[in-house]
Structure 1
Amino acid sequence: MPVSPAYRPEPRFFDLGEEYGDAVRAAPFPQTTLRVRNDRAAATVGLDTLTDPEWVAHFGRFEPLPGQPGPIAMRYHGHQFRSYNPDLGDGRGFLAAQLREVSTRAQAASDRVGSERAPQAGRLLDLGTKGSGQTPWSRGGDGRLTLKGGVREVLAAAMLEAQGVPTSRAFSLIETGEALTRGDEPSPTRSAVLVRLSHSHIRFGTFQRAAYLRRPDMIEALVEHARSLYHPAVERGDAAGFLRAVVQASARLTARWIAAGFVHGVLNTDNLNVTGESFDYGPWRFLPHYEPGFTAAYFDHTGLYAFARQPEAVFWALTQLGGALKLIGDAEPLTEALNGFGDAYIGELRTAFLSRLGVLSLGEAADQRLMDATLALLREGGEALRWEPLFHDWFGGFASSARALGGPRGQHYQGETFDAFRFALFEHEPDRPERLEAPLFARAEPEEMLIDEVEAIWAAIDAHDDWGPLQAKLGRLDDLREALAQGQADTG
């Protein structure tokens, strides 16, 4: 059977009409070799029952899934490094399908009572592509994706998902057999097409395009579309309420990036969406150690999107969204919604740091003290104390004291700054301390995603067609995700 009873097609973006996108076809690739198949993600949308040939047919040759009308290249504009570009749009990708996620909480209840009813549907999700060929918005590009770029996105999404960061999931990676020439990496290089599963591909730049065209009717349609599907608590016609919801989601996303030590690299307004979910990973990096000015993109010469400037970048992008919404809403409530970003971000950052340290909230003052003490310890530790190991060593608070002090970084855990950190940490009760029983925490070193390892994984593929290191890494990231989320209720 090609799809399971859990499959629920719902192609809602197509309801907006032809002014928002263009029907396209995927490129005819000379080969379609399946390299990564995310069956865990596929199970959430009823596609895990596809055979490998069926999988390749749908995600390599892009034969439409049942109930889906076919690919559409979405239209949008955007600011790229704060310069407005009206010539954007899906230039090497498209929206391939929209479908409902299985509500895992409802399904778990159904399983407990032995119900034979079909699984209940949850969030509306997109299957979007990268590297699927040229579209009307390719701007002279070849519409392709390098295999290395696909591997990097698979790794970024898996790491961020494991850490609880809102992210798209790399659903499929298929090698396509073309030799690509790129100016920023050794060429010719191998090609691939990626499919990602995400909550939405409606970008800030989608609204900017409608504003650029001076089409308030299009903005109203977009707000109603996005409000009803992604922020249904917002009342119909409430542009400021919609913006407030996007601000809150974006604040949560940004805070989770910071706590993860993640640098997206290219926070243009076409790379930020209305659901607050990171996607379209390009020159991303994870911090080796505390370094506010750390950049991911070699072309970010001014550090516009450096690690510590990401909140500023996201807020600036939100103001562009707010500017587009002024065509249909009053300036004062829109400004008020934007001004809520700072408080929302700080609150979400405290929550994110508590999550990374595996402890419960004790109240705003105590939570702030712990976050400040953690950052102070990382700052003082410099290059000698890497970002990820600190959270690994002290996960769960007091219960990890012997493990942390007796581990390879024990010598760094002394002095006044550490004492302040330990005091602030031990104030907080552990959150689900049974998670410390996971084998992951018996290891001296954490699961990291630093650039040297990423390059080594790619080198094995490039030089020897050895996919073992990538599969091993994805397996360890699954272990990390399960260890950190053990016992956690579904919040989808």
Structure 2
Amino acid sequence: MKIPFDNSYTALPDQFYTRLDPKPVATPKLIKVNTALAELMGIDLTDLETTEAAEVFAGNTIPDGATPLAMVYAGHQFGGWSPRLGDGRAILLGETVGTDGIRRDIHLKGSGRTPYSRGGDGRAWLGPVLREYIVSEAMAALGIPTTRALAAVETGEKVLREQGPLPGAVFTRVAQSHIRVGTFQYHYARGDKEASKTLADYVIARHYPEAAKADQPYRALIEAVMDKQARLIARWMQVGFIHGVMNTDNMSIAGETIDFGPCAFMDTFHPGTVFSSIDHAGRYAWGKQPSIAHWNLSQLAQSLLPILHEDPDIAVGIGQETIDGFQEIFSTYYFEGFGEKFGLFPLQEGDPDFIGDSLKLLSDNEVDFTLFFRHLTGIARSLLEDGDKGENSLEVLRGLFKEHEALDNWLEDWRKRLTQDKTTPEERLEKMKTVNPVFIPRNHQIEAMIQAAVTGDFAPFERLLSVLSNPYSEQPEHADLELPPKPEEIVHATFCGT
């Protein structure tokens, strides 16, 4: 296996990281390699031996050209300040520039203790590794910016968690970078203006080169990150995704979904939905994600104050004015995206209120979020095609609602709204089919997959991965994966892997 490393982060001063090799594991065994992603990254898998891949992706063998390191950063975790975090169980092997011209990090997660482990064992167990593999690849197939899964390996060792000893694993993930809001916070908190400027210039050169041409490059950097994050959070919400730990050290400067810990997709819709076992106050509930993103971005702006302007008061004014634009940007992405899900585009005056009232109706009736939009798309198809598809979808929708009369009244209002724009039924249907998934990684299916894998059965993992690679298409042979959980299957809490 040949990896065409082209490393740039190691050119930064050593206060940004600690050079460190991953810790070898006992008997690595390959679970999965993402061959399509590897090819995109220019990784040569020709004549790849399974044992060789397992050794590399477990961290036992350091590939030629790699420059292993653990990144340092800080962060607000559930609002509490932690001045020194960093990669406590991960190693950045290096970077590649893919056949598409995009630079990506290769990152081993669960690769052993580092100077930033804070008492942890630096390892991962099999469950969270498979969860992250499935959810990150599903997010990519849904068209949502995300870190990707390159490989998963069993270690042949046990790790100790609250549940007892569990099978160990290492996850290899790929990102356009692993720089976070917390990376900037770390250097700002230390009063290291030079490091802050070095990092900002690096991020601009790597991710936002257009910002370098602006009159105020560092303000342009904040604006670019803010735009990407606003769009990202809106897209999360439009598929019912709840990150679970939106700490500042889990917010990517590149605008990708990162650090899938106790994440989950909603079944029954409610804006206050929380799954994370450690989010006792509901700080990161579905409906609170925009305000948390806004707060996190304000921390980024604060971290850049020393280089925004020499006059501190003027710097604060620039930062505040910039961050104050978040709500309008987010609202645009949010309502346009939900408009497309409802088949309302272009948006008209009154549509945001209609969308808000519609979501309240779903919440009041405890409706399955994904099934609602999936079968609303079926009803949109019935407006275009003859046949029983629309009747089937209507029957399913009625079964989802406690108040059938409320649904009937809503459908009447919805149909009236559809007649008020020039969008053709064909255009409406095609758009709705591209934004309303048939399949999502449902929590109970992930848990069942993990339980099977612990016993050595990876067939459910492979099946989920295959179906979720094409989430917007009907796959009748896998229709059972569309279904919400039975009462005894409901997952009430998801857990971090540490």
TM-score range, shorter chain: 0.7 to 0.9
Q: For 2:218 and 2:210, locate their aligned partners in 1 and report how far apart those are by CA, in whole Å.
A: 13
Structure 1 position 468 matched with structure 2 position 468: no
Which residue of 162, 165, 180 maps to 1:188? Answer: 165
Percent of pairs with identical residues: 28
CA contact (8 A) 2:441 2:468 kept: no
Shift of 1:65: 3.7
Residues 1:138 and 2:117 are matched in the alignment: yes
Distance 2:339 2:114 in 1: 44
SS in 2 for 1:327: helix
Q: What residue identity is the alignment partner of 2:262?
A: P
Letter in 2 for 1:350: F
d(CA) in 2 for partners of 1:32 and 1:423? 60
Equivalent residues in 2 for 1:168-207, closer than 5 Å: 168-183=147-162, 186-207=163-184
Deviation of the 1:57 alpha carbon: 3.2
Give the aligned residue type for 1:58.
V
Q: 2:389 is aligned with what amino acid? A: R
Instruction: Verify the 8 A CA contact 1:376 1:417 in the aligned structure 2.
Output: no
| One of 348, 354, 361 as aligned partner of 2:345 | 361
> Within 2, Cα distance between the matches of 1:364 and 1:192?
50
1:208 corresponds to which residue? 185
Going from structure 1 to structure 2, the CA distance change for 1:455 and 1:437 (only over 3 Å counts) comes to closer
Note the 1:311-390 alignment, pairs <5 A: 311-329=290-308, 330-356=315-341, 359=343, 361-363=345-347, 365=349, 368=352, 371-372=355-356, 374-382=358-366, 385-390=367-372
SS at match of 1:88: coil
Equivalences for residues 400-419 of structure 1 within 5 A? 400-401=382-383, 403-407=389-393, 408-411=395-398, 412=401, 414-419=407-412
Identify unmatched segments of 5+ residues in structure 1: 104-120, 485-492
Instruction: Give the match for residue 54 of structure 2.
Output: 56
What is the SS of the residue equivalent to 1:177? strand
Specify whether residues 371 and 100 from structure 1 end up closer, same or farther in structure 2 by C-alpha distance, changes over 3 A only. farther
Superposition TM-score, scaled by structure 1 size:
0.85
**Structure 1 CA distance for aligned equivalents of residues 73 and 148 of structure 2:** 22
Per the TM alignment, residue 327 of structure 1 is displaced from its structure 2 partner at its CA by: 1.4
Task: Give the whole-Å Cα distance in 1 for the aligned partners of 2:88 and 2:117.
Answer: 4
Distance 1:424 1:277, change over 3 A: farther
Displacement, 1:483?
A: 7.7
User: What is the rounded CA distance, in whole Å, between the counterparts of 1:93 and 1:231 in structure 2?
Assistant: 26
Q: Is the 8 A contact 1:264 1:296 kept in 2?
A: no
The residue aligned with 1:13 is 9
Shift of 1:326: 0.7
The answer to whether residue 259 in structure 2 is matched with residue 285 in structure 1 is no
- Amino acid in structure 1 at the alignment position of 2:179: I
Shift of residue 176 of structure 1?
A: 0.5
Residue equivalent to 2:448: 456
- Letter of the structure 2 residue corresponding to residue 352 of structure 1: G
The equivalences for 1:475-486 within 5 A come to: 475-480=466-471
CA distance in 2, matches of 1:158, 1:483: 18
Give the structure 1 partner of residue 486 of structure 2: none
TM-score normalized with structure 2 length: 0.84
Deviation at 1:355, TM superposition (A): 5.0
Deviation at 1:367, TM superposition (A): 5.6
Q: Which amino acid aligns with 1:393?
A: H
List aligned pairs for 1:50-129, cutoff 5 A. Answer: 50=46, 51=48, 52-61=50-59, 63-68=61-66, 70-103=67-100, 121=101, 123-129=102-108
Retained in 2: the 8 A contact 1:72–1:96? yes
The code of the aligned residue for 1:19 comes to Q
Whether the 8 Å CA contact 1:398–1:425 is kept in 2: the answer is no
Residue of structure 1 in register with 2:199 after alignment: 222
Q: Which residue of 1 aligns with 2:414?
A: 421
Structure 1 pair 255–436 and aligned structure 2 pair: CA distance change class (3 A): closer
The one of 19, 23, 40 aligned to 1:44: 40
Structure 2 match to 1:297: 276
Give the secondary-structure state (helix, strand or coil) at the position aligned to 1:228. helix
Report the aligned-residue RMSD: 2.6
Counterpart-to-counterpart distance in 1, 2:292 and 2:9? 28
Change (3 A) 1:363 1:448: closer
CA deviation after TM superposition for structure 1 residue 308, in Å: 0.6
Query: 1: distance between equivalents of 2:354 and 2:143?
Result: 20
Pair 470,325 (structure 1): closer, same or farther in 2 beyond 3 Å: same
Residue 235 of structure 2, aligned match among 243, 249, 256 = 256
Cα distance in 1 between the residues matched to 2:208 and 2:433: 38
Counterpart code for 2:126? L
Structure 1 CA distance for aligned equivalents of residues 225 and 474 of structure 2: 30
Matches of 1:241 and 1:62, distance apart in 2: 42
- Are the equivalent residues in 2 in contact too, given 1:295–1:307 (CA < 8 A)? yes
Q: CA deviation at 1:328?
A: 1.1
* 1:231 paired residue number: 208
Q: Equivalents in 2 of 1:483, 1:96: separation in Å?
A: 39
3-state SS, counterpart of residue 470 of structure 2: helix
Whole-angstrom CA distance in 2 between matches of 1:390 and 1:48: 43
Task: Give the partner amino acid of 1:351.
Answer: E
- 1:344 to 1:75, Cα distance in 2 relative to 1, 3 A: same
Alpha-carbon displacement from aligned partner over 1:434-484 (angstroms, at most 9, x marks no partner):
69999xx9xxx932322221111111122x311101101111011226789
Q: 1:362 to 1:160 in 2, by over 3 A?
A: same
In structure 2, the residue matched to 1:116 is none
SS at match of 2:51: helix
Residues 13-32 of structure 1: pairs in structure 2 closer than 5 A: 13-32=9-28
CA distance in 1, matches of 2:201, 2:377: 42
**Structure 1 424/95 Cα, relative in aligned 2: closer, same or farther at 3 Å?**
farther
CA distance in structure 2 between the partners assigned to 1:396 and 1:248 by the alignment: 33
Deviation at 1:217, TM superposition (A): 0.7
Query: Residue 196 of structure 2 aligns to which amino acid in structure 1?
Result: I
Is there any run of 5+ residues in structure 2 with no aligned partner, and where?
A: 309-314, 476-498
Shift in Å at residue 239 of structure 1?
1.2
By how many angstroms is 1:53 displaced?
Answer: 3.5
- 1:400/1:9 CA distance change after superposition, 3 Å: farther
Question: Which whole-Å CA distance do the structure 2 matches of 1:42 and 1:356 have between them?
Answer: 33
Question: 1-side partners of 2:169 and 2:412: how far apart?
Answer: 50
Please tell me the residue identity of whatever aligns with 2:412: D
